[in-house]
Amino acid sequence: MKRTLMTAAATALAVSLTAAGCQSSGDSGKGPIKVGSINGITGLFQTPEVPKAVKAVFDEVNAAGGINGRKLELISKDDAMDPSRSGQAARELIQSSGVVALAGSSSAVDCGLNRATYSKSKIVSVPAVGVDPACFTSPNIAPVNPGPYALTTAMLYYASETLKHDKVCMDYTVLPGSGGGIEDAIKQWETLTGKHLTHKNLAVGQGDPTRYLVADKNAGCQAVIYNAVVGPWFAQAKTQGMQKVDFILAANSYTDANAKVIPPDMSAYAGTEWQPYTDPTLPGNDRWAKLVEKNGIQKTAFSQGAVMAADVFVDVLKTIKGDITRESVTKAFKEMRPINYPMVGTPYVFGPGDKHNPIQGSRFVKADKGGWKVLPGGFTVPGKS
């Protein structure tokens, strides 16, 4: 299965590169400003709320007169986490649709597959949700979230430096192609703290978690960094008598549903990439909450990223003098000034570099009485907090 995935990705990438060399430069400077987005609407990684939230921001801008009198038009493609579909989506957006940029993408395979296409086409992408390592190591891609790797470092840092644990362990389910990013995140934590993991398993399956938890218990883990299915994990952790262990969950586990299945006597934290969405009073959350409520969009952390990506994109477009074309949009992002956005820990800036991971830091919440309690202290930025 893994070999099939890699072969499909390689084939689609080769086609993308060939096609990218002969496509037009995109927008003519007239009519609607076409903006592309590649999202997981079906498949294993689903984020249907993301393009809805991006469109809600664009509709808001259009109702106020657009950008220099031109309306924003979002063209979203579902890649279903399929490499061939993702490559095709990028080619269609760039060649046929004539988009000036991509904003609000939320695909697990887009960045790694299409990074060369974006560079060859001289088009920028501002993902709402960056997933694989290529999202943060490409010249023409800059997500608005810290990403799973910066978040992993922050989670480890929180366990050892804030919670003061000496025996920190990790149980992760790693997506294909993401193992190197996780290992780099661990190394960064080791460099910052001089500490090492007591126990590590980066191949946690979706079945019975007993063997993983028994290994953690035998290793004497005081804190466990975890990113897979929540319900069965905590049910078995309780059976194993691990109530004194601090389990720190990745951002994908920070949902209302998960809070409800964590036993009240278990200690569970979650790292967030934006201000915790369960508290609408936090900086930046008021605007997001009102927007998604008005449009009937699900309140999730991913919809936060969608609103941020759209807001940042609009702000940069407003700085452009003259026609808004693919060339002028790319130039504007490469030369933009940092934007202080209240929902994240550091300013967002694209810039001229070969890699971009501008958003750093995580806030932490704790499971409490079937919900999530926002913990004090603001954003944890490893090495700076």
Following DSSP, what letter does each residue of 185-214 receive, concatenated? HHHHHHHHHS---SEEESB--SS--HHHHH
pLDDT tens column, 169-190:
999 988 766 768 899 999 999 9
Select from 182, 179, 176 the least CA-distant residue to 153.
182
CB atoms within 10 A of CB 233: 24
Where do the structural domains in the chain lie, given as residue ranges? 2-146+282-335, 148-272+362-374
Q: What is the pLDDT of residue 25?
A: 52
Provide the residue type at 10 as one letter: A
Distance between CA atoms of residues 46 and 81, nearest Å: 9
Secondary structure class of 221 (helix, strand, coil): coil
Per the CB < 8 A criterion, the answer to whether 51 and 306 are in contact is yes
User: What pTM was estimated for this model as a whole?
Assistant: 0.86
Residue 260 CB neighbours (<10 A): 13
Assess whether pLDDT exceeds 50 at residue 14: no
Cβ atoms within 10 A of the Cβ of 340, count?
Answer: 8
- Close Cβ partners of 142 (under 8 Å, ≥ 6 residues apart): 124, 125, 126, 333, 348, 349, 350, 351, 356, 357, 358
Whole-number pLDDT of residue 180? 83
Q: Which residues of 120-140 are buried (b: 16+ CB within 10 A; e: fewer)?
A: bbbbbbbbbbbbbbbbbbbbb
What fold characterizes domain 148-272+362-374? Rossmann fold (3.40.50)
The pLDDT value given to residue 17: 39
Query: CA 272, CA 151: separation in Å to the nearest integer?
Result: 8
Q: Tell me, what's the pLDDT at 26?
A: 52
**Which one, of 261, 241, 110, 289, lies nearest residue 249 by Cα?**
261
CATH architecture under which domain 2-146+282-335 falls: 3-Layer(aba) Sandwich (3.40)
Task: Determine the average pLDDT of the residues in 233-254.
Answer: 96
| Measured CA distances, 225 to 173, 345, 384 (Å) | 11, 21, 21
Whether residue 20 is predicted with pLDDT greater than 70 in this model: the reply is: no
pLDDT per residue as tens digits for the range 88-136? 999 999 999 999 999 999 999 999 999 999 999 999 999 999 988 899 9
Fold equal for 2-146+282-335 and 148-272+362-374: yes
Rounded Cα distance, 39 and 57, in Å: 17
Pairing of strands 199-201, 223-226: unpaired
Question: By C-alpha distance, which of 58, 51, 50, 57 is closest to 32?
Answer: 58
Output the six-digit token pair for 347.
């300013």
Q: Is the pLDDT of residue 232 over 90?
A: yes
Q: What is the mean pLDDT of residues 55-80?
A: 97
